[in-house]
């Protein structure tokens, strides 16, 4: 018997929307302020997955410049009908305070790898939009309704409205079909039709440790909906010993052989509470009981780490290379940039062949134009290494190796220039938005020549190293606790995960560049 080992998508890959098209399975996940938007992973056996595509890859589809931390792309919904792939997503412009500016769009493609269309605007009444294709050919958009009014339940229920493909817009009345249960925070709707019923999947309890999957059903699409008598169908709440915490926000897929699997969000705390890797994606095998309700194979409603795989031929993929020598004309799939696309005005893989050249822009506090390229941390124990050529002229020019959660929380091994010492290396940190310099004095470097940089992370501990061409690795400072690089480290709610990468700043506006010869990301567990 083959086994699925959870999480199947490790590191920051939340809010999974799973579909099957023929013999191929796809999962779309949220990307928030990271560009390009939406990650689509591909599998043929539900065991092995590869990152296939980011469909929102141009600014005409997704303009996030100025979006706040944990804004951007929330909860995409991927679906497939009559040879067309549909992707519904929210571009959140603000989620702080009473109000949420949540604009919902749709893009389509006849090939999962694109090209994907320009976006069609749908509505802004709430987030977590999902498109349901009914058996009669009609299409319906469901989303949670945000109610900002004082004294009201902010999570105002699940609303549905018909989508006209001919007119490319929503038409007809808006109907609130489900107000949720006493668990509250009702969101993440997905509709399915099975054995004469409409099944409404929602997430409840909030996307932290009380997260759940709630299922309700109705004989009519517009309700009324009856809640599963054994609700919740899936949760980790109240069971801190489970490896997979925060289980919720689920979607459903049926295999070619009639087996059922649920994709859901989960997280693995590094210390019992802080989830440095962010929210991840897991799969659970399910079945329909005699009463027509969905149940977990193996019993109970807690997520399993080991799950029986479907009866499909194994289909492994070539493993991703640990080393990127920047020899290709475009950035590899695993790289992301902050809010803005990798425009040639600030990023080039051709100006110096075999190097990634970044031109310094705004500070690490900026919500607009940061010169930063990073990839997800996907293991508790890993090392990252690069070599940099950078000759700063003043303290406003910086470049180096960074572990980044958001503008409030990062740790940065940076090279800069100080008046009294020339070129130096040191560590700067932002913790809960408070700037700090972690060395009593920066370490002096030769005025020119490449510098190797390394980070080793072991769970909640980070150690930086550097080396000149002729020398071996030397530690920079002491071990650093990085629990603040997590969803749980600060309020209000935030939703991403830790990234590791390279960046350049030039706060004087002269666009001083740094060249990176390679980048190694090596997992050690």
Model confidence at 104: pLDDT above 90? yes
In the block, tokens 């303290």 appear at 395
**pLDDT per residue over 215-244, tens digit each?**
999 999 999 999 999 999 999 999 999 999
- pLDDT at res. 171: 98
- pLDDT at res. 53: 95
Burial class (CB in 10 A: 0-12, 13-18, 19+), 466: buried
Q: How many CB atoms sit inside 10 A of residue 471's CB? A: 9
pTM: 0.98
Mean pLDDT over residues 253-277, rounded?
Answer: 97
- pLDDT at res. 120: 98
By C-alpha distance, which of 32, 54, 50, 33 is closest to 41? 50
Query: Alpha carbon of 70 to those of 77, 162, 405: distances in Å?
Result: 18, 29, 10
Mean pLDDT over residues 21-42, rounded?
Answer: 98
Percent above pLDDT 70 for the chain: 100
In the block, tokens 């929602």 appear at 202
Model confidence at 470: pLDDT above 90? no
**pLDDT per residue over 243-252, tens digit each?**
999 999 999 9
- Please, are residues 189 and 142 in contact by the beta-carbon 8 Å criterion? yes
- pLDDT at res. 257: 95
In this structure, what token pair is assigned to residue 374? 């990073």
Residues forming the active site: 15, 187
Own/partner pairs, 40-43, CB within 8 angstroms, 24+ separation:
40/78, 40/112, 41/9, 41/13, 42/112, 43/8, 43/315
**pLDDT per residue over 482-511, tens digit each?**
999 999 998 878 999 999 999 999 999 999
Query: Alpha carbon of 322 to those of 72, 228, 315: distances in Å?
Result: 29, 46, 21
Model confidence at 479: pLDDT above 90? yes
All structural domains of the chain, each given as residue ranges with its CATH number in brackets, are: 3-308 (2.115.10.20), 323-523 (2.60.120.200)
By C-alpha distance, which of 434, 382, 383, 436 is closest to 414? 436
**pLDDT per residue over 368-377, tens digit each?**
999 999 999 9
- pLDDT at res. 490: 86
Mean pLDDT over residues 176-197, rounded?
Answer: 98
Please state which of the ranges 4-13, 103-112, 432-441, 483-492 shows the lowest mean pLDDT: 483-492
């Amino acid at each position: 018997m083959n086994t699925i080992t959870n999480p199947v998508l490790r590191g920051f890959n939340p809010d999974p929307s799973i579909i099957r098209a023929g013999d191929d399975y796809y999962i779309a996940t949220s990307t928030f302020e990271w560009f390009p938007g939406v990650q689509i992973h591909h599998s043929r056996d539900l065991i092995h997955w590869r990152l296939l595509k980011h469909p929102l890859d141009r600014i005409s589809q997704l303009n996030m410049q100025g979006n706040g931390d944990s804004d951007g792309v929330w909860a995409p919904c991927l679906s497939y009908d009559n040879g067309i792939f549909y992707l519904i997503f929210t571009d959140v412009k603000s989620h702080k305070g009473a109000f949420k500016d949540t604009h919902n769009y749709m893009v389509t493609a006849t090939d999962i790898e694109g090209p994907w269309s320009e976006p069609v605007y749908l509505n802004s009444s709430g987030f977590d939009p999902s498109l349901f294709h009914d058996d009669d050919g009609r299409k319906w958009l469901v989303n949670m309704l945000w109610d900002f009014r004082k004294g009201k339940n902010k999570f105002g229920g699940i609303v549905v409205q018909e989508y006209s493909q001919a007119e490319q817009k929503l038409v007809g009345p808006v109907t609130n079909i489900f107000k949720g249960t006493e668990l509250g925070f009702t969101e993440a709707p997905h509709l399915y039709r099975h054995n004469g019923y409409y099944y409404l999947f929602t997430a409840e309890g909030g996307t932290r440790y009380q997260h759940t999957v709630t299922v309700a059903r109705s004989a009519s699409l517009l309700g009324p909906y009856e809640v599963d008598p054994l609700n919740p169908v899936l949760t980790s709440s109240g069971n801190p010993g489970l490896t997979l915490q925060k289980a919720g926000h689920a979607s459903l897929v049926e295999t070619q052989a009639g087996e059922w699997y649920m994709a859901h969000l989960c997280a693995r705390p590094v210390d019992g509470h802080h989830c440095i890797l962010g929210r991840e994606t897991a799969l659970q095998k399910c079945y329909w009981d005699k009463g027509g309700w969905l149940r977990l194979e193996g019993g109970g409603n807690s997520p399993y780490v080991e799950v029986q795989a479907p009866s499909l031929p194994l289909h492994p993929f070539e493993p991703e290379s640990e080393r990127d020598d920047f020899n290709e004309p475009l950035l590899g799939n695993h790289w992301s940039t902050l809010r803005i696309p990798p425009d040639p005005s600030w990023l080039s893989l051709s100006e110096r062949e075999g190097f990634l050249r970044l031109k310094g822009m705004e500070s690490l506090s900026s919500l607009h134009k940061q010169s930063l390229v990073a990839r997800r941390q996907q293991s508790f124990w890993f090392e990252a290494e690069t070599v940099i050529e950078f000759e700063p002229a003043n303290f406003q020019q910086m470049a180096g190796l960074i572990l980044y959660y958001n503008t409030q929380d990062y740790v940065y091994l940076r090279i800069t220039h100080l008046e009294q010492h020339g070129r130096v290396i040191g560590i700067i940190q932002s913790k809960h938005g408070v700037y700090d310099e972690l060395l009593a004095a920066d370490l002096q470097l030769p005025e020119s020549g490449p510098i190797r940089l390394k980070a080793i992370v072991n769970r909640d501990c980070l150690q930086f190293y550097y080396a000149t061409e002729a020398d071996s690795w030397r530690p920079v400072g002491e071990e650093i606790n990085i629990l603040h690089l997590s969803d749980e480290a600060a309020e209000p709610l935030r939703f991403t995960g830790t990234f590791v990468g390279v960046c350049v700043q030039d706060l004087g506006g002269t666009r001083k560049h740094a060249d990176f010869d390679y980048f190694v990301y090596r997992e050690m567990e």
